[in-house]
Amino acid sequence: MKTPSAPNENINIENDPRMPYQLPFPVEAQKEIVIPSPVPDDERVWVPQMENVWFRPLCLNASQGYWVNLLRVRRAGILSRHRHPAPVHGFVLLGKWHYLEHDWVANEGAYVFEPPGETHTLVVPEDVQEMITLFHISGCMIYVDPWGKQTGYEDVFTKIAMCRDHYAKNGLGAESVDQFVR
Ligand code: FE
């Protein structure tokens, strides 16, 4: 993308708005990720998380410590109680869900911001066959008991490891996770 610069009247600047940027990107820049079908046709891409809960990676950003994935929950599944010390953004693609700790419902099409300090339990109601939500999660998820005692955690590195392990076993190949890692 071209950075606006101060006009220099001494130079006849090429100013065709449809002319692509002419210079190479910085050598340190990471390669872009383009996923034409985020909801995959190949079931093997979904990584089992817990009973009736799966995720599929979109961007596993090891250099900045966040991950973007689709979360899929079927048949009244639950994503266990956890705390976020860093922000989360969510966008509901299919179905609906709510947190035991809040009185609102995230319906299909909803955007949700979860501020640092949230501890919550994601529940999908009985009448929803399948829920899919895109989540952008920074830092980590700290799994806790109802009184905040830690029982486990996840971060971008455990997510990468889960993908690698699952893809190695199901024939996609451990290295297929690399396309999502930056
Ligand atoms: Fe959460």
Q: Could you tell me the distance, in angstroms and rounded to a whole number, from the CA of residue 110 to the centre of ligand 1? A: 15
Taking residues 97-112, what's their average pLDDT?
97
pLDDT above 60 (res 3): no
Strand, helix or coil for residue 163: helix
Mean pLDDT over 81-86 rounds to: 98
In sequence order, the β-bridge partners of residue 55 are 47, 71
Kindly report the three-state secondary structure assignment for every residue of 98-125. Answer: EECCCCCEECCCCEEEECCCCEEEEECC
pLDDT at 2 over 70: no
**What's the gap in Å between 143 CA and the centre of ligand 1?**
10
Confidence of residue 58 (pLDDT cuts 50, 70, 90): very high
Question: CA-CA-CA-CA torsion for 63, 68, 74, 78, nearest 10 degrees?
Answer: 60
In contact, 93 and 72? CB cutoff 8 Å: no
Task: Using alpha carbons only, give the angle 160, 163, 164 rounded to the nearest 5 degrees.
Answer: 85
**Over the chain, what is the mean pLDDT?**
93
Q: Would you give the DSSP letter of residue 91?
A: E
Q: 43-180, superfamily in CATH?
A: Jelly Rolls (2.60.120.10)
Measure 84 CA to ligand 1 centroid, in angstroms: 6
CA 63 – CA 89 distance, rounded (Å): 19
- Which of the four pLDDT bands, split at 50, 70 and 90, describes residue 78? very high
Distance 141 CA to ligand 1 centre (A): 7
Question: Cα(159)–Cα(138) distance, rounded to whole angstroms?
Answer: 12
Query: How far does residue 121's CA lie from ligand 1's centre (Å)?
Result: 7
Map out the domains of the chain as residue ranges: 43-180
Neighbour count for residue 82 (Cβ, 10 Å): 20
Mean pLDDT of 25-52: 95
**Bridge partners (DSSP) listed for residue 90:** 112, 135
The 3-state DSSP class for residue 179 equals helix
Span 16-32, average pLDDT: 94
